[in-house]
Structure 1
Amino acid sequence: MPKRVGVIDLGSNSARLVIFERTSRFGFFILAEHKIKVRLGEGAYENGGVLQPAAMQKCLNAFVEFKELLQKYGAKRVLCVGTSALRDAPNGGEFIKLVFKKTKIAIRKIDGESEAYFGGYAAHNLLSDFKEGVSVDIGGGSTELARIKNGKIEAKISLNLGTVRLKELFFDKGDMGGLYGYVNEAISAVGDEFASSNLIAMGGSARALSNAIMAIENYPIKIVHNYCYDYEKYAPFFSKLIGAKTLELAKFPIKKERYDTIREGAIIFSEIAKKIGAKSVITSGVGVREGVFLGSILHGANLPKNFNPSLKSLQDRFASESSHADKFAKALFSVFFSLHKLEDRYISPLCYAAKLCEIGARLGFYAKHESAASMVLNGLNYRTSHEQKALIAAIIAMHGKPNLSPNFANLSEILPNERTLAWLSFLCEFARILNENALKNLEFKFENLTLQITGAKNKLMLKDSLRKLPKPAVFAINFI
């Protein structure tokens, strides 16, 4: 597959183009993302699903622009899927031919279950670890659910329940009784197999709700992917939002572009959450687009269990290939255990930090560790919880010092205590120094409050660097 791949997701409300760049076999990142609110389904739901001329023309214009962007980014392959509005439309085939004739972009019309599958597949592979859950992807024309359990998608369903559909059929007419009747009838098709305490929120409306809660909480990380919250705690907030008048929406931390459909989205979200018995919400920044892309490189298989595509991508682009820092960090964690007595769950973020602590040098030597920490916060997204990401960034930013830099102090509310941070920062910097001195085959032994290092006896720069490194406890270092 080419290095850069464009994926277009054509929904009832918006068309999105994402440019994925592969850095290795499974390592990748999003190079660019562009969204155009095309409203392909506008006017269709009151006309038997028939796509209206004005909506088709606007959407066609968007595809012309997407074609120009694909050429600009040098994307050699394009994957395009059309969802609810297109599959509902009697004249959908006509529109597909029109787009291909004008742009040579082939739209693949997918059914509702396929749409549910792609969303669930992306969430399963790219969220941080969760045992089970139900992905709920709220779109303009439909809502898809996928039951994820035991490492696979066990059930999927598509409902003719979307924000634009509800807006045109009921909300704009003030028919709230009809709206709730319609919603409840649609949701009645969701069987007991979808019961779950974890709701995985997808789609623009659901993410907008998560962003609003993050704003209310003044949450320190601004990336919505992997953000989690207690559904019952915020159910009253959803109720207030649903009951608000249009002119009152400015009082809520909702982007203005979402005003026209956010209440419809909140209704769908709340009713489904109650139907499946959700207690916790896990926000997914990935969905159909990422599912389509992953399917093209994995051919339906899952990413390897302990593989992190974001970590690999950052390493591919910015890290040294010859680094042994993570191995040193793991060995030091073990050898100093009698002093720090930290839980084994800290080994993984420590090793991640050791692998990534030098990536900031690609931006410049000075303040390279704060640069690396910022790169982690913005780039280490897939398969990493917010707490893990914050911890990895903090370890790197501390650069062996016992205190967190003021530039990252806002992360403290989701970080472990100062003693734990001080030890992890020390271990990471110790490992970085060993790696910097081009050392490989070292042996460590700790006894009588003395660390013995075998294999680096004549390394003057190493000794000088370790002498300057603040220790989180009292012990000696001996080179033999």
Structure 2
Amino acid sequence: MSKITTVIDIGSNSMRMVVLEKSSRFAFSLINETKSRVKISEGCYENGGNLQEIPMQRAYQSLKSFLNISNALKSRKVLCVATSALRDAPNSKVFLNRVKNDLGLNIKVINGEKESYFGGVATSNLLHDSNFVTLDIGGGSTEFCFVKDKKIIKSISLDIGTVRLKELYFNKNNLEGAKKYILDNLKKVFEQNIEIPTKVVGIGGSIRTLSKMIMDKNIYPLDAIHGFTYDFKKEKKLFENILNADTNDELQALGVKKDRFDTIKEGTFIFKTILDELNIKSVVTSGVGVREGVYLTDLLRNQNHRFPNNFNISVKSLLDRFELNEKQSAYFGNNAKKIFDSLKSLHNLDDKFKELLVVASKLHSIGSSLNFYKKNDNAFEFILNGLNYDFLHTSRVIVAHTIKFSKKSLPKQSDLDEYKELLPNLETMQWLSFMIALNIAINTDFSCPKVEYILDDFILRLELPNSSFLINSHIEKLELPKDLSIEIL
């Protein structure tokens, strides 16, 4: 696979591009993301499904710009797929041939099941959840992908989309007809005799817009859409307010951005109708979809489109790009486990915190790569945004705070207040802070010493292979959790 790959997704409403750079066998990072709301399907559903000249011209010009960006970034591979608008259009070959002849770009028109599958590949690999159904609302169609234990078991596509419903029903103020149309199409989902999860992973611009509005309304502390989760019933009132809004001013007052005025009511109507009918309880927002699914299907073509077990793309990508020394990172990770296990009878923390302590210990030196001075603060801000794949929001925030307070003093409650909604209690964070600080202090001279940890009541005895004034002095300065004391042997 090429080191730098471009993936373009031509949807009915928006055309999107991602440029991804591979850093090791399975790790990659996003280096560009571009979106253009070309609305290629505009007017087609009122004209027998045929693409109209002006929307095709917008799409053609945007593709030229996308390819300019791709070339400037030295991308050596371009994968371009098109979904509902082009697969439904009787005259799609006019556009496809023009793009191929003029721009040298081969567009692959994929069917609905393949589109759904790509969404499933992206979410099952890049979200922490294991059991869910994806719901990808586009301009012309809506895709469902059922995932159980991170394995895709069924992909379904229905001809339900924001642009399609707008032209067929909303422009005629026929909401009852729109609802009946959605429910009639949904029968295909129930006919599959598949157990429907109570959790939906939402894909697409309308769903991300709704999530951002919910985050803003609730003053959510973390500015990250991917992985944001909410209780549908608690937020249903916002859906209803959007549907009852009569003017764009009312939509804007609710928090809808101007570029979403034209489809937000249709998208909300589709989403709410489906969530109600499927009896969905919680919604997880996905920042990834077809584009990432196309990329991962290529990247993991010899792995059944799955990352290896115990592989985390975010951690590996950050280590590939920013770790100072691979041997040191490995040592800090292994030593973190030993420290956590030796103190288990005192802190009584769940093993999930051990995993987060290991991640924090491996990544703490990232701040030094950015700027040695204020390295903990630099790492904190970077981690909040850098651990974007396969991490719960709570996990991301815990790792960032653990690194931020990997110093001699333990955090106070006031240090945690901004993100308290996503953090465990103060005592837990103080234990994590102490354990990472001890881990770093023990390897102050980068000698990777083999240490034995012996807990005797409330005394942690450290057996170091060699005496080191530098290491001893750093350990002696550490603020300890209550009742704990340390002896260096």
C-alpha contact 1:242 1:267 (8 A) present in aligned 2: yes
Q: Which residue of the partner structure matches residue 313 of structure 2?
A: 309
Moved more, 397-406 or 205-214: 397-406
Q: CA deviation at 1:93?
A: 1.9
Which SS does the other structure have where 1:205 is aligned?
Answer: helix
Which SS does the other structure have where 2:361 is aligned?
Answer: helix
Q: CA deviation at 1:185?
A: 2.0
**Matched residue type, 1:137:** D
Residues 254-285 of structure 1: per-residue CA shift (max 9 Å, x gap) = 22211110110011111111222211111111
C-alpha contact 1:398 1:405 (8 A) present in aligned 2: no
Q: CA deviation at 1:194?
A: 5.6
Q: Which residue of the partner structure matches residue 189 of structure 2?
A: 190
Which SS does the other structure have where 1:221 is aligned?
Answer: coil
Q: CA deviation at 1:339?
A: 2.2
C-alpha separation in 2, matches of 1:194 and 1:122: 21
Q: Which residue of the partner structure matches residue 412 of structure 1?
A: 420
Residues 101-151 of structure 1: per-residue CA shift (max 9 Å, x gap) = 222121110000000110011111110133x11100000111000111133
Match of 1:353 among 352, 360, 363: 360
C-alpha contact 1:147 1:194 (8 A) present in aligned 2: no
C-alpha contact 1:163 1:261 (8 A) present in aligned 2: yes
- The total of aligned residue pairs comes to 479
Q: CA deviation at 1:218?
A: 0.6
- Provide closer, same or farther for how the CA distance between residues 408 and 165 of structure 1 changes in structure 2, counting only shifts above 3 A: farther
Query: 1:473 aligned to 2:472?
Result: no
C-alpha separation in 2, matches of 1:422 and 1:75: 45
- Provide closer, same or farther for how the CA distance between residues 404 and 11 of structure 1 changes in structure 2, counting only shifts above 3 A: farther
**Matched residue type, 1:9:** D
Q: Which residue of the partner structure matches residue 137 of structure 1?
A: 136
Residues 291-343 of structure 1: per-residue CA shift (max 9 Å, x gap) = 00000010143112311101100011111212211111111111122322222
C-alpha contact 2:179 2:273 (8 A) present in aligned 1: no
Query: 1:227 aligned to 2:235?
Result: no
Moved more, 366-375 or 453-462: 453-462
Q: CA deviation at 1:405?
A: 9.2
Q: CA deviation at 1:231?
A: 0.9
- Provide closer, same or farther for how the CA distance between residues 159 and 370 of structure 1 changes in structure 2, counting only shifts above 3 A: same
Moved more, 231-240 or 288-297: 231-240
Residues 344-390 of structure 1: per-residue CA shift (max 9 Å, x gap) = 22101111110111101111111111111111110101110001001
Moved more, 33-42 or 325-334: 325-334
TM-score by length of 2: 0.95
**Matched residue type, 1:440:** P
Q: CA deviation at 1:435?
A: 2.9
Residues 179-199 of structure 1: per-residue CA shift (max 9 Å, x gap) = 222222222222142622011
**Matched residue type, 2:452:** E
C-alpha contact 1:329 1:430 (8 A) present in aligned 2: no
Which SS does the other structure have where 2:213 is aligned?
Answer: helix
Match of 1:432 among 440, 448, 453: 440
**Matched residue type, 1:181:** K
Q: CA deviation at 1:456?
A: 4.3
Residues 219-268 of structure 1: per-residue CA shift (max 9 Å, x gap) = 01111111111111112221121121133101212222111101100111
Query: 1:207 aligned to 2:208?
Result: yes
Q: CA deviation at 1:406?
A: 6.7
- Provide closer, same or farther for how the CA distance between residues 332 and 407 of structure 1 changes in structure 2, counting only shifts above 3 A: closer
Match of 1:373 among 367, 373, 380: 380
**Matched residue type, 2:239:** F
C-alpha contact 2:81 2:108 (8 A) present in aligned 1: yes
Which SS does the other structure have where 1:218 is aligned?
Answer: coil
**Matched residue type, 1:34:** T
**Matched residue type, 2:315:** L
**Matched residue type, 1:188:** K
C-alpha separation in 1, matches of 2:390 and 2:452: 33
C-alpha separation in 2, matches of 1:368 and 1:409: 21
- Superposition CA RMSD, Å: 1.6
Q: Which residue of the partner structure matches residue 388 of structure 1?
A: 395
Q: Which residue of the partner structure matches residue 54 of structure 2?
A: 54
Q: CA deviation at 1:448?
A: 4.7
- Provide closer, same or farther for how the CA distance between residues 107 and 408 of structure 1 changes in structure 2, counting only shifts above 3 A: farther
C-alpha separation in 1, matches of 2:236 and 2:187: 21
Moved more, 110-119 or 240-249: 240-249
Moved more, 133-142 or 452-461: 452-461
Match of 2:326 among 300, 321, 329: 321
Match of 1:250 among 246, 249, 252: 252
Which SS does the other structure have where 2:188 is aligned?
Answer: coil
Q: CA deviation at 1:455?
A: 2.9
Q: Which residue of the partner structure matches residue 261 of structure 1?
A: 263
C-alpha contact 2:7 2:79 (8 A) present in aligned 1: yes
Match of 1:332 among 334, 339, 344: 339
**Matched residue type, 1:431:** N
Moved more, 89-98 or 308-317: 89-98
**Matched residue type, 1:145:** F
Residues 399-455 of structure 1: per-residue CA shift (max 9 Å, x gap) = 233225978642112101111100101101111222332223222212253322223
Which SS does the other structure have where 2:108 is aligned?
Answer: strand
C-alpha contact 1:328 1:434 (8 A) present in aligned 2: no
Specify every segment of 5 or more residues in structure 1 that has no aligned partner in the other structure, as ranges: none
C-alpha separation in 1, matches of 2:449 and 2:185: 62
C-alpha separation in 2, matches of 1:154 and 1:128: 18
Match of 2:290 among 288, 294, 297: 288
**Matched residue type, 1:418:** L
Q: Which residue of the partner structure matches residue 167 of structure 1?
A: 166
C-alpha separation in 2, matches of 1:437 and 1:156: 54
